Amino acid sequence: MKKHIIGACILVLVAAGSILLFPPRPLMSDARLTSRFAPHAAALERIARMAKEDSQVTAVHRDFVLLKDGVWRDDSEEGFSSERWNAYRDAFRQTGDLDIDGISKVGGIMEFSPTSVAVEDIEDSMESLVISKGFAYSENPPMRLSRSLDEMGFESAETYYKAIGGNWYLYRDFGVSKPE
């Protein structure tokens, strides 16, 4: 369990660091994200297929792989291989301008690293509200489906999904970024 907590903390730090290093633009519209999906569908399908095959994997990112029983960083550790990790990274590169460098699997849903992020500072606080939108794959319809993710603001604190075809969805997630 301790390894899962460490892995989750690493994911949060990576996400927070990417927001600080690459300041976000306003959230992309559902229509824009959907139009960007089609040219990269084959690479996204490849990543989803690989992640489905790798049942022990809970997340694959540019710098590490999170397994059910710990973090894998290189071939000196068991549970994964550099060859497989390189196959993921090659597929991520094929997504081109989507800037996808990771995937996480939670509750049967594969969420690809956010494609669009918006941040709003909380007054009198070092914390910020963060909304992200990206692509998700699920063989079963997610619980919170919406016809549009565009109108949801910072007050919608759940993860919502919008169907875009087949087993593919857009997702909209909400969180709070806290300084270390």
Condensed to tens digits (0 to 9), the pLDDT of residues 53-88 reads 999 999 998 778 999 988 988 877 788 898 998 999
Supply the pLDDT for residue 155.
67
Of 5 and 155, which is predicted with more confidence?
Answer: 155
φ/ψ region of 18 (left if φ > 0, alpha if ψ in -120 to 50, else beta) reads alpha
Judge whether residue 3 has pLDDT over 60: no
Q: What range does the domain containing 80 cover?
A: 2-177
Could you give the CA distance from residue 122 to residue 154 in angstroms, rounded to a whole number? 11
Number of structural domains the chain divides into: 1
Cα dihedral 97, 62, 66, 136, rounded to 10, equals 0
Supply the pLDDT for residue 20.
42
Mean pLDDT of 94-113: 88
- Would you say 175 and 114 are in contact if contact means Cβ atoms under 8 Å apart? no
- Would you say 94 and 43 are in contact if contact means Cβ atoms under 8 Å apart? yes
Considering only 28-32, 128-132, 146-150, 162-166, which range has the smallest mean pLDDT? 128-132
